[in-house]
Every structure is written in C-alpha cells, then in structure tokens.
Amino acid sequence: MAEQRRDQRDGRGAGGGAQDVPEPWRRSVRAEEAHAWEELVATARRTVADGLVVGTSGNVSVRVDDTVLVTPSGVPYDRLTPDDVTGVDLDGRPVLGRLVPTSELPMHLAIYRATDAGAVVHTHAVHATAVSTLVPELPAIHYMSGALGGAVRVAPYATYGTEELAENMLHALDGRTGCLLRNHGTVTYGATLDQAYDRSAQLEWMCRLWLTASSVPGLSPTLLSEEQVTEAGERLRGYGQRK
C-alpha cells in the first residue's frame, strides 16, 4: 500500500500514463490558485490532526473562479507540496497538475454546480459515521444544528465515488450546508475553507454529543423543536466580528 501511494505521488502508479493529465489541459498555476492550494493543504492536514479522518480518507476542495482545486487520490496530506496542485473544471476535466483527483470528485462537483459553495470538506469522522448507521437524521440535540440550516439528514448509502452517491447527497443537502452519508461519513460546504471545515467539526461534535447523551440507561436526551433550531440559525448568521 505504501508503495502504491509513493508510485501515485510520483505519477508512476498502475496504468502508467493514465496518471498524467493530458497535455492540452495543463496550464500554469495562477497566483490566487497557488494561495488557495496552500490553504487547502493546511485544511486537509487539519482534518487528520483533529481526528476527522484517518490516513488518506476524506477529501477537501476549494473553488477559484471556474476551477476546483481538490486533494488528489491516495496521497497522504503531509506529502503534498506546492507542486502537487490538482485542479479540474466544473465538468471534471483536469486543468492543473499531474495527479489523479480524489475518487469523490462527483460529490464535490455536484455541490459546486448546485450551490454557491466556495469550499467543500468530506470526512469519515467516527461519531458522525456511527450516527449515520442509526437514524435517518441527527436529532436536534443542540442549537448548532441551525448553523447547518436545520436538522441534519442522512443520505442513503451508495458506493463511494459514484454519481448515485452524489445525487443522494444533494437531496440530503436541500436547504442545508451539511449532511451525513450512511455508513460513510460527512459532507459540509461553506463560502470559505474555514467555514466548511468548522461545519464539519461542529457536525462531528453534535454527533458525539447525541451518542453520549443517548447512552445513559433509562434516560433520553431532550431535543430542540424545529422552531428553536430555526431561531438559533437566524441568530448564528450574525455571529462573530463584523468586517
């Protein structure tokens, strides 16, 4: 496995030339893309440091105009360098770099096509994934549900990397900025990488909170009403420092 990852990192994986981006699609990296790639790599490494993913699971993307920068498939985040920038257009055609994009590219592109997202974070966070196997939506255990647009739905299971999974995810995201993927993980998006990441971290925390509260024998956690979550969401839109 380590050899396979090294091979892909060096562009020598199975399929040989299939690792290379076709010459007509390659172009030089613009300054704003180089800066966005630096932030993307930092965010990807943060998902590992904070325990939201293990190894190369999960993926991160950011949109710069009509180009989507995305983590490459199977490459440990601590090995990514400025030379590894990987980008596609909104149709999924490679425009930057020589590494193969994440296998979950259909999910990322589906969000960018359907929303005004500036960044997407996909994780395999353990508590959120556990909740995805238990309920059709995360119970309203905390007002931070409002930060994601309301009750967090669970998208039906589909094989990773497929258009079916992307379609299931979009239905679960209707009116939301985050959802759970059954037996798989989480997806959140935001205007920036920081916002998308924060929503992933908050979602994992709420799942852990619900699992903890639900584990007390003979007791059930109190839940918030839809109206309470909506009110909290409205207040949260004005949260933080004004710029």
pLDDT bin (cut points 50, 70, 90) of residue 1 is very low
Long-range contacts of 164-172 (CB under 8 A, 24+ apart): 165/106, 165/107, 166/106, 166/107, 166/109, 166/110, 167/110, 169/107, 169/110, 169/111, 170/110, 170/111, 170/114
State how far the Cα of 76 lies from the Cα of 140, in Å rounded to an integer: 35
Question: Which residues partner with 121 through β-bridges?
Answer: 60, 188
CA distance 81 to 1: 21
What is the model's pLDDT at position 53? Answer: 95
Beta bridge partners of 87: 69, 96
Say what the pLDDT of residue 9 is: 39
Backbone region of residue 203 per phi and psi (left: phi > 0; alpha: psi in -120 to 50; beta: other values): alpha
Give the pLDDT confidence of 176-215 residue by residue, as tens digits: 999 999 999 999 999 999 999 999 999 999 999 999 999 9
**In the annotation, is 23 catalytic?**
no
Active-site entry in 3, 23, 33, 104: 104
Query: 56 to each of 38, 52, 91, 98, 126, how far by Cα in Å?
Result: 18, 11, 24, 18, 15
Q: What are the residues whose beta carbons fall under 8 Å from the beta carbon of 217, sequence distance 6 or more?
A: none
Task: Find tokens 């299931």 and name the residue.
Answer: 168
With beta carbons less than 8 A apart as the criterion, state whether 29 and 96 touch.
yes
Give pTM, 2 decimals.
0.88
Tens digits of residue pLDDT in 93-151? 999 999 999 999 999 999 999 999 999 999 999 999 999 999 999 999 999 999 999 99
